[in-house]
Chain A
Amino acid sequence: MDVDLRFFATFREAVGQKNITRAFDDGLTIGDLLAALESEFDGLEGELLDDTGDIRPQLSVLKNGREVLHIDGTATELDDGDTVSVFPPVAGG
C-alpha cells in the first residue's frame, strides 16, 4: 500500500522534500512508519520517536489531518492512500 507523507519546517529540510510517497506492507502503524523514516533519513534519526518508542513531545503527527495522539498514538493503523503529516512547532514572530 502507498502512504503519502508531508513534512514541514525542519523535518522538510531533513528529508529534502515536502511530499513523498512510500510503499509499505499492509498492517503498517504510525510507529512502524516513523521508525522506517528514521532509518531512511539520517536527519530524522532520533528525532521522531523517543527511547520507549513513543512520539517525541516536540512534534505533531497527523493522519489525514487528525492528530494521531487522539486516535491510537503509535498504534494508529494506516491504510492505502492515507496522508501522514509531520511537523515541529516554530516560534518566529
Chain B
Amino acid sequence: MSGLSLDPEQLDRYSRHIIMDEVGPEGQQRLLDSRILCLGAGGLGSPVIQYLAAAGVGTIGIADDDVVERSNLQRQVVHGESDIGRPKVDSAADFVAEQNPDVAVERHETRVTSENVEDLVAEYDVVVDGSDNFSTRYLVNDACTLAGVPFSHGAILKFEGQVTTFEAREESPCYRCIFPEAPPAGSVPSCAEAGVLGVLPGTVGCIQATEAVKLAMGYGETLDGRLVLYDAADMTFDTAEIRKNPNCPVCGENPDIGSVHDVEYTDTCAIGD
C-alpha cells in the first residue's frame, strides 16, 4: 500500500465507501492501489469493468481480442452503437476514462494462451474470468491456481449462471475440483449457439465484481468453497458446497499439472489431449 493520499475530489467521489467502518479511507486506498485483470470485455466483463471502475480500482487490465459487433449490444453494456468494429479493449477503456479518471486501464488486445497467461496473471492481484469458452476457462484456472492468484469465475448460458470465487489458498478448491475436464466439443453450447438473456450477465457479472472488490479491500467472505447456480427464469439462487478434491489434477495431493504447458487447451483440456 502506498499510504493514504486521497485528495478532496476522491474523498467526495468515494464518500459512500469511506463513511463505512468496513471500508474507510484505508479500504478505499487499498482499492486505488489494487490491480485487477478482467479476462473478456463482453457480457460478464462489461458490468465487472463498470463497477470496478466506479469503485476506484486503481488499475484494471482488460484482455480481449474481439471487436464490437452489433449482436453484442443486447448485453455488453460498456459498448455502444458507435463502437461497432472497434476493439473491445479500446471501447471499454473509453468507457472507464469517462466514468472515473482515477482508474488506469491496461489494454491487452490479445487472446489469452498458454504462452502469455502466466506473465499476464502475474501482474495482477485478482483475476476476473469473464471469458466465453472452455479452453480459456481451464487455462485461467490452471494458471491462477498454480500462481496462487485469486480469481472470480462466472459463466452463463441462456437463463442460467454459475459463479464462484477461487482464492487459490492451500485449502481452496479450484475449477477442476468440480469439473476435472471440459465437456467434449459441441456437447454444451455457447451463448452464440444457444442464446443468453441480455440482463443475465449483469447479475452474474455484478456478483463477480463484488467478489473482486472484497478481495481487493480485504473485507468480507467470498464464495470460495461455494458455487452459486443462478436461474433467472424462476429467480432462484442455489448454493452448492464445493471442496478441494484430493485427486484434482492441478491442486490435489499428487497433481499431474505442474504448468500450463503440461496441457493442450483444446477439446476436454485433459492431460494428454
Which residues of A are interface residues toward B (Cβ below 8 A)? 6, 8-10, 18, 57-60, 62, 65-67, 69-70, 85, 87-93
Rounded to whole angstroms, the CA-CA distance of A35 and B24 in the bound complex is 55
Q: Would B155 and A58 count as touching, CB distance under 8 A?
A: no
Closest beta carbon of chain A to B240's beta carbon, Å: 5
- Residues from chain A with a CB closer than 8 A to the CB of B155 are 89-93
Stretch in B117-125, B127-135, B213-221 touching the partner: B127-135
Closest beta carbon of chain A to B135's beta carbon, Å: 9
Interface range on chain B (Cβ under 8 Å from partner): 35 or more
Rounded to whole angstroms, the CA-CA distance of A79 and B157 in the bound complex is 32
Given the known A-B contacts A67-B240, A93-B45, are A10 and B162 also in contact in the complex, defined by CB atoms under 8 Å?
no
Q: How many A-B residue pairs have CB under 8 A?
A: 101
- Residues from chain B with a CB closer than 8 A to the CB of A8 are 160, 229, 231
B188 interface residue, CB < 8 Å from A? yes
Rounded to whole angstroms, the CA-CA distance of A43 and B242 in the bound complex is 27
Q: Would B42 and A93 count as touching, CB distance under 8 A?
A: yes
Q: Would A93 and B243 count as touching, CB distance under 8 A?
A: no
Residue of B nearest to A10 (CB): B188
Which residues of B are interface residues toward A (Cβ below 8 A)? 40, 42-45, 129-134, 137, 154-158, 160, 162, 175, 178-184, 187-191, 196, 201, 229, 231, 234, 238-243, 245, 268, 270
Rounded to whole angstroms, the CA-CA distance of A93 and B49 in the bound complex is 13
Rounded to whole angstroms, the CA-CA distance of A9 and B229 in the bound complex is 10
Rounded to whole angstroms, the CA-CA distance of A90 and B129 in the bound complex is 13
Closest beta carbon of chain A to B223's beta carbon, Å: 14
Rounded to whole angstroms, the CA-CA distance of A18 and B159 in the bound complex is 12
23 contacts between A and B (CB under 8 A): A8-B229, A9-B157, A9-B158, A9-B160, A10-B187, A57-B179, A62-B240, A66-B241, A87-B162, A88-B188, A89-B162, A89-B179, A89-B188, A90-B162, A90-B188, A91-B188, A92-B132, A92-B156, A92-B191, A93-B44, A93-B129, A93-B155, A93-B156
Q: Would B182 and A58 count as touching, CB distance under 8 A?
A: yes
- Residues from chain A with a CB closer than 8 A to the CB of B40 are 93
- Residues from chain A with a CB closer than 8 A to the CB of B189 are 10
Given contacts A58-B179, A60-B178, A85-B240, 4 further A-B contacts (CB under 8 A): A66-B240, A89-B175, A93-B129, A93-B156
- Residues from chain A with a CB closer than 8 A to the CB of B154 are 93
- Residues from chain B with a CB closer than 8 A to the CB of A91 are 131-134, 137, 155, 157, 182, 188, 190
Rounded to whole angstroms, the CA-CA distance of A8 and B137 in the bound complex is 19
Q: Would A67 and B243 count as touching, CB distance under 8 A?
A: yes
Rounded to whole angstroms, the CA-CA distance of A66 and B216 in the bound complex is 29
Q: Which of A6, A10, A58 has the most CB of B within 10 A?
A: A58
- Residues from chain A with a CB closer than 8 A to the CB of B181 are 57-58
Residue of A nearest to B131 (CB): A93
- Residues from chain A with a CB closer than 8 A to the CB of B182 are 58, 89, 91
Rounded to whole angstroms, the CA-CA distance of A69 and B45 in the bound complex is 32
Q: Would B162 and A65 count as touching, CB distance under 8 A?
A: no
Residue of A nearest to B43 (CB): A93
Q: Would B238 and A85 count as touching, CB distance under 8 A?
A: yes
When the two chains form the complex, which single residue of B43, B187, B234, B242 contacts A18, counting CB atoms closer than 8 Å?
B234
Rounded to whole angstroms, the CA-CA distance of A59 and B160 in the bound complex is 16
Residue of B nearest to A6 (CB): B238
Rounded to whole angstroms, the CA-CA distance of A60 and B227 in the bound complex is 11
Q: Would A58 and B238 count as touching, CB distance under 8 A?
A: no
Q: Would A88 and B183 count as touching, CB distance under 8 A?
A: yes
